[in-house]
Amino acid sequence: MNKKKKIILIISVATLIIILWSWHSLKVMTEELPSTSSLVQYRPELVTEVYDHRGELINELFIERRTLVPLDEMPSDLKNAILAMEDTNFYNHWGMDITAVIRATFRNLTARRVVQGGSTITQQLAKVMFLTPERRIRRKVQELLLALQIEKQFSKEEILQFYLNHIYFGQGAYGVETAARIYFDKNVKDLTLGESAMLAGLPRAPNAYSPGRNIYSAYRRRAVVLQRMEYVGLITEEEKTDANAEPLPGRTYREVRKPGDDFVEYIRRKLMPVFGANKLYRGGLRIYTTLDLRMQEAAEEAVTAAVERQDEIFTEKLIKDIKEEMDFRSIEEVKTSTTAMKMVEERFRPSQAALVAIDPRNGQIRAMVGGRDFTLSEFNRATQARRQPGSAFKPFIFTAAIDQGFTPADILYDEPRVYFNDGRDWVLLKNATTTAQLGIDMEKLRKENNNNNNNEEKEEAGMRLQDRIWAPTNYYRAFDWQTTFRDALVRSLNCATIDLIDNIRPITAYYYARQMGIRSNLPVSLSLALGTGEVTPLELTAAYGVFANEGIRTRPYSIIRVEDYAGNTLIANYPLEEQVISPQTNYIMVNLMEQICEYGTGVATRWLRRPKGGKTGTTDNFTDAWFVGFTPNLVSGVWVGYDDNTPLGERRAGGVVAAPIWANFMDKALAHTPVLDFPVPDGITFVYFNPATGRLATEGEEGAVLQPFIRGTEPRTYF
């Protein structure tokens, strides 16, 4: 065999080997390709949408922000702009555009870098749907093979719809509908030519061409898109000129904080164990909630204004303290001192507040604020923080007492008293009304404690000793000695309330609180009179809903129903109610709490001109301020304080701090609702009586008030 024949044989064998190897590799790659049949039921990772009870969108849950929209709902300008930039020959090729590949190869070789791609829309879809982003020949071949399969299995319209709903436009937006909402705050069907052209310029390099990052690059990129559309005959020169003149959103894109962040997180935590993260974030669920978006906005406005005001007061107090510490001559001198103001900054701590509003007729939560700023703290003080309610707990005690036979005219003893904790309960020390009168006993106990040789244990023992002595007093450190049941509640007299709970026994008050909706653990002791058990704003507000609803407790709930992407109902909730106190007992309490808002500790709410009742609450050292109140169609509770129990300030009580927030919120929340009165049930009679003595009074007599009583329990004598 001559040399020429040998060369031909070698080339032939090598060619055969390459062909066989290529065929085998192609066969292996084809077998390894993912099935394109999944596109038949194509449903991208959809955004879960959260709605209020009127059907208004509150917020969204997602990992990839995406909303599916049919091709016929997309404007022609947007489709044409995408085709002009990404695949002009889309409707003519079979998955690969040979002309585009040759053109791109030539341009890239000339520029000595990749300046143009040759992939068709079908190839891009195959890549983003089924393949990894690695740049290897093997992956490029797989991309082409998948594109051929997709072209064979689906129409051009279907392929374009898949693509436009899946590609990334930057700023967390996947798909054209979400991109339109993010960049232009409108639906995709409402986009103009100029807006469509801007979006069409983003997929190649979303960060580089985003108007939020570089407005000049965005304008230049849009001009390129419009020039290309004119070049291929999709728009006229006049249309191009007009579109180029449209302004672009020249701000740095930032997710706009929407009302209800605390509430959405609250329901997310409820639904996560039910659906799991994948379905909740990617399933395109529709969650219809009980929230009222307008009430929520009013709640957030009221809370924001209040905490800002509290911050101002706290800062003023810090400045005054530092003035005294450092012997400054004036406040102005403190404010001009860098050192002093740095001390103010270091000592400052932000106040917090929570607000919950519920429709008492069905238990639906209408508003929820868990703190001053969800982006700084996701801790929900409306549902997760348990704080002492102070005097806001008293209505449960007085309710229990009415059912035990007490009336608004009964006399209670509002006098100083001292209790000793014997390890089981508080025992009244009969002969002592001040701790000074316990001197001998206290000294004896101290001597016993001092026998311990460990200093730390001595200190702890001393603290325990102090905790075992309880000498309750009233807010103003004064006593009425004798007062009526009505005045004890309206004026929130601590010692009279202790006398009352001592009469009915703490276990009775505990039982009524549980019946009305308090679920947190409570101490079964006399200290319940001062609200020493810790509760959440949500449960306290829900329990007050009983008063607004004629004695009927309704279970608070936040989710009306959950639907899947096809509209099938997955979860549905309905009101659950139970009559827990009689309508007659309830009405007596409602009337007393109306008087609290007119004449008592809740007088800061008087200006709200509609029937209302409520109760203030303040804890020791002014660490917690509460107001919980209601109308026949809305009950809401407000808490204000600091996470670390820093005092709010001298005399910063519930009536001063929380009640104004409540009134401001209720005024806006109920602005477009009818003014309703509390219905008077059968079995109630009204008489004039003197709240100072509890005796009958004549109409027009000084100090006389018209007071309802359960029929048969009203006072019968004038003397």
Contact criterion met (CB below 8 Å) for 661 and 302: yes
Q: What is the DSSP string of 131-183?
A: S-----HHHHHHHHHHHHHHHHHS-HHHHHHHHHHHSB-STTEESHHHHHHHH
Contact criterion met (CB below 8 Å) for 404 and 504: yes
| CA pair distance 345, 347, nearest whole angstrom | 6
Q: Could you give the 3-state DSSP secondary structure of residue 536?
A: coil
State the pLDDT confidence band at 210, using cuts at 50, 70 and 90: confident
Given CA atoms 306, 545, 587, 612 in this order, what sign does their dihedral have? Answer: positive
| Section 439-458 average pLDDT | 44
Contact criterion met (CB below 8 Å) for 657 and 310: yes
Q: What is the DSSP string of 309-345?
A: HHHHHHHHHHHHHHHHHTT-S-HHHHHT-HHHHHHHH
Looking at residue 432, its pLDDT comes to 54
Task: Kindly report the backbone phi and psi dihedral angles of residue 209, in degrees, each rounded to the nearest multiple of 5, phi listed first.
Answer: -105, 5
Q: Is the pLDDT of residue 8 over 70?
A: no
Question: Out of 37-41, 375-379, 522-526, which region has the weakest mean confidence (pLDDT)?
Answer: 37-41
Q: Is the pLDDT of residue 361 over 90?
A: yes
**Active site includes 86?**
yes
Q: Is the pLDDT of residue 135 over 70?
A: no
| Section 220-232 average pLDDT | 93
| CA pair distance 647, 351, nearest whole angstrom | 10
Question: Out of 79-93, 352-366, 557-571, which region has the weakest mean confidence (pLDDT)?
Answer: 79-93
Q: Indicate the burial class of 64 (C-beta count within 10 angstroms; 0-12, 13-18, 19 or more).
A: middle
Task: Kindly give, in sequence order, each residue whose CB lies less than 8 Å from that of residue 443, ignoring residues fewer than 6 positions away.
Answer: none
Task: Kindly report the backbone phi and psi dihedral angles of residue 26, in degrees, each rounded to the nearest multiple of 5, phi listed first.
Answer: -65, -40
| CA pair distance 41, 122, nearest whole angstrom | 17
Contact criterion met (CB below 8 Å) for 174 and 129: no
State the pLDDT confidence band at 718, using cuts at 50, 70 and 90: confident
Give the model confidence (pLDDT) of 473-520 as tens digits: 777 677 778 899 999 999 999 989 999 999 999 999 999 999 999 999
| Terminal-to-terminal C-alpha distance of the chain | 143
The closest of 143, 162, 159, 160 to 151, measured between CA atoms, is: 159
| Section 55-75 average pLDDT | 84
State the pLDDT confidence band at 26, using cuts at 50, 70 and 90: very low
| CA pair distance 166, 326, nearest whole angstrom | 64
Q: What is the DSSP string of 21-63?
A: HHHHHHHHHHHHSPPGGGGGG----BPEEEE-TTS-EEEEE-S
Q: Is the pLDDT of residue 100 over 80?
A: no
| CA pair distance 109, 105, nearest whole angstrom | 6
The closest of 263, 452, 272, 391 to 653, measured between CA atoms, is: 391
Give percent above pLDDT 90 in the chain: 51
Looking at residue 207, its pLDDT comes to 79
Looking at residue 114, its pLDDT comes to 45
Q: 137-153 vs 121-130: helix axis angle to the nearest 10?
A: 110
Contact criterion met (CB below 8 Å) for 483 and 412: yes
Torsion, Cα 28 34 39 41, to 10 degrees, reads 130
Q: Is the pLDDT of residue 459 over 80?
A: no
Edge-to-edge strand list for the sheet holding 57-61: 57-61, 48-51, 286-289, 559-563, 569-572
The single residue of 45, 60, 86, 594 carrying the catalytic annotation is 86
Length of the chain, in residues? 719
Q: Could you give the 3-state DSSP secondary structure of residue 308?
A: helix
> Six-digit token pair at 377?
């703290």
Question: Does 464 or 89 have the greater pLDDT score?
Answer: 89
Contact criterion met (CB below 8 Å) for 560 and 572: yes
| CA pair distance 381, 391, nearest whole angstrom | 19
Looking at residue 327, its pLDDT comes to 87
pTM value surpassing 0.85: no
Looking at residue 270, its pLDDT comes to 93
- What's the chain's Rg over C-alpha atoms? 37
Q: Which residue type is seen at 541?
A: T
Question: Does 24 or 430 have the greater pLDDT score?
Answer: 430
Give the distance, in angstroms, between the CA of residue 513 and the centroid of all CA atoms in the same chain: 27
| CA pair distance 288, 576, nearest whole angstrom | 18
Give the distance, in angstroms, between the CA of residue 664 and the centroid of all CA atoms in the same chain: 19
The H or E element spanning position 92 is none
| CA pair distance 150, 40, nearest whole angstrom | 10
Edge-to-edge strand list for the sheet holding 613-618: 364-369, 352-359, 634-641, 624-631, 613-618
State the pLDDT confidence band at 440, using cuts at 50, 70 and 90: very low
| CA pair distance 299, 638, nearest whole angstrom | 10
Q: Is the pLDDT of residue 543 over 90?
A: yes
Contact criterion met (CB below 8 Å) for 501 and 413: no
Task: Kindly give, in sequence order, each residue whose CB lies less than 8 Å from that of residue 437, ignoring residues fewer than 6 positions away.
Answer: 418, 431
Task: Kindly report the backbone phi and psi dihedral angles of residue 49, in degrees, each rounded to the nearest multiple of 5, phi listed first.
Answer: -105, 140
| CA pair distance 61, 717, nearest whole angstrom | 66
| Section 199-215 average pLDDT | 86
Question: Does 140 or 378 have the greater pLDDT score?
Answer: 378
| Section 443-466 average pLDDT | 44
| CA pair distance 79, 69, nearest whole angstrom | 13
Question: Does 694 or 544 have the greater pLDDT score?
Answer: 544
| CA pair distance 178, 74, nearest whole angstrom | 12
Contact criterion met (CB below 8 Å) for 375 and 402: no
The single residue of 119, 391, 492, 527 carrying the catalytic annotation is 391
The closest of 615, 616, 427 to 525, measured between CA atoms, is: 427
In the beta sheet, which residues pair with residue 60?
49
The closest of 118, 67, 76 to 96, measured between CA atoms, is: 118
| Section 572-593 average pLDDT | 97
Calculate the average pLDDT of the chain. Answer: 84
- 173-174/65-66 β-pairing: parallel
Q: Is the pLDDT of residue 1 over 60?
A: no
What does the DSSP 8-state code read for residue 255?
P
Looking at residue 708, its pLDDT comes to 95
- 48-51/286-289 β-pairing: parallel
Q: Is the pLDDT of residue 644 over 60?
A: yes
The closest of 311, 538, 497, 246 to 391, measured between CA atoms, is: 497
| Section 580-609 average pLDDT | 95
Give percent above pLDDT 70 in the chain: 81
| CA pair distance 610, 27, nearest whole angstrom | 80
The closest of 175, 182, 139 to 46, measured between CA atoms, is: 175
Task: Kindly report the backbone phi and psi dihedral angles of residue 224, in degrees, each rounded to the nearest multiple of 5, phi listed first.
Answer: -65, -45
Looking at residue 392, its pLDDT comes to 96
